[in-house]
Chains A and B, each alone.
Chain A
Amino acid sequence: MIRPFGLDEALFIVFAIQWTLALSAIAFAGGAVGGLIIALLRVSQARLPRYLALGYVRLFQGTPLLMQLFLVYFGLNIFGAGINPWLAASLALTLHASAFLGEIWRGCIQAVPSGQSEASWALGLGYVDRMKSVVLPQAAKIAVAPTVGFLVQLIKGTSLASIIGFVELTRAGQIINNATFVPFKVFGLVAILYFVICWPLSLLARWMERRFAVATQR
C-alpha cells in the first residue's frame, strides 16, 4: 500500500533536522580540536610534525568524504567496535573537518604579521604564551568568516552519513519517499530544509568577510 504524503510524513522529515544538527555539532566541535592541532603542527618550526600534518591534510583533501565514511564505518568493525553509524559518522566527519579547518586556520595563523611573533620572542614569551595571547587571538579574527563558510560545507557533508544508515534529514527523506513515492515533493522539502539551515550561515559568512575587508582597509 502506498502511504499518502501528509502532515505526519512532512513532520517526520522536519524533526530529522535535529540529527543533522547534532551530527554537524559533534563534527564541528571535534574538527575544531583536531583542526587547531593540525594548524599548529603545520606552522611548527620542526620539520617532521609539519610534514606529518601536511600529509594528513593532503590525504583527507585528496579523497572523497564518502570513501572516508566507508573506511571508518568498515574499519571500526575490523577493530572490533562493531557496526555503529553514530560512531562512524561522527569520527569520519571529525577527521574530515580537522583536515579542512586545520588548513583554513594555518592560513589565518600565517596571515598574522611575523613581527607579532618576533616581538613576543623579544619580550621573552614562551611558545604557549606567544600562541595563546598574541598570535591565535589575532588569527581568530581572520578565521571567523572562512570557518562559518566551512560549517556550511560540513552540514551539507553530513547528508552522506545517510548512506551508511545514519538517520538524519536526508535518510528521513529517503524513508518517507520509499513509503509515499512522491520524490519530487519529498526531496523538494528536504532541499528547502537544508537551504533554510545553510543560507543564513552563508549570508553571515559573506557579511563578516565584507566587514572584515572594510576593517582592514587602509
Chain B
Amino acid sequence: MSSETVLSVHDLKLYYRTRKGIVKALDDVNFDLKKEDVLAVVGESGCGKSTLARALVRVLPRNIHTYEGEIILNGRNVMDLDEETFRREIRWRKISIVFQGAMNSFNPVYRIGYQVAEPLIIHDHVEKKKAIEKARQLMELMGMPSAFAERYPFELSGGMKQRAAIAMALITNPEIVILDEPTSALDVLTQANIINLLKRIKNEFRLSYIFITHDLGLASELANRVAVIYAGKMVELSSADVFYTEPKHPYSKGLLLSVPTLRTDRKPEFISGAPPSLIDPPSGCKFHPRCRFAWSKCSAEEPAMFKVGEDHFVRCWLYGDGR
C-alpha cells in the first residue's frame, strides 16, 4: 500500500442553528486518508457520522451556523473554493458518495442507465448515447446484466438498485467514495455480495473509501482504519488491526463488547445510558456520564486527542499527560 495522502481533514467543524440552540454536530474532526485506505467511521445514531459525509461533499442544509476547518484534497484546501468551482471540480469528480438509502432515491420515471450516466452528461458534457454506453459497461462490472440499463427503478431488486447507485458514484472516476451505510436496508446475503463487490472495485480502481456504518462487524469487512465518533467528536482513530484487538477509549471498548458474535462464546454487554443531546452536552469529556473509568478531571476538562501509538489517537484522560 502506498503512503500517498489523498485527503487530509483539519479541525473540521459543523454547527447547526436550531430553535433550541446551536447543535455542535461535528467538532474538531481531524484525519488523513491515504490512497486505497478504507476509513470506517463508526458510532451510534445521532453522533455525527452522516453529517461528516455531508460536510465532506458540502451537501448541507440551510441552517448552518458554522462550517469551518480545512479539507485538503491532493494538497489543495477545498474549503476555499466557491460553490460553483466545488461543484465542477470536486463533488463527484474527486469525491463521490453513495447516500444512505440511495437505492430508493432513483427517479421512478427515468431508466436506470440514464440515471447512472447523468453525472457524466452533466459534469463532463459527454454525449448522452456515449454516457449511457459507459454506464452500461460499468453496471456490468458491478455484476448487473447490462440490459438492466433499459429498466426502470421499480423493475429492479434492492440489491440491484444498490449496485446501480454504486455505479453512479464511480462513473466520473473519483478518487474517494463515501459510503454512507451502503448496505443497511439489504438482506444478509445481498449485503455480503455488495461488500465483495466493494472490495473488488476498490482494488480495481485504486479507490479510497470513507465507510460510514454503525455495524462494527461490517466495518471490519472493509476498513484498514477506524474512526469512532461520539457526540460530534472523534474519540478514537486507529488502524483496524489495533482497534479490533486493543481498543483504547472506554466507549470504543463498550461498542465492541456490545456486538453479538457468531464465532466466539463471549456474551454481549451493553453500555448503559444514552448519547447526550448535542445542544446541551455534558461538560468535559462528553462520554463521562456513561464511563466506568471517569474521575473528577473527566467532567471538568475536555481531553485532547492523545497519541498512544503509531497512527493511534484517543480522546481520553486515561491516556493523557500526567497519568
Partners in one complex: no
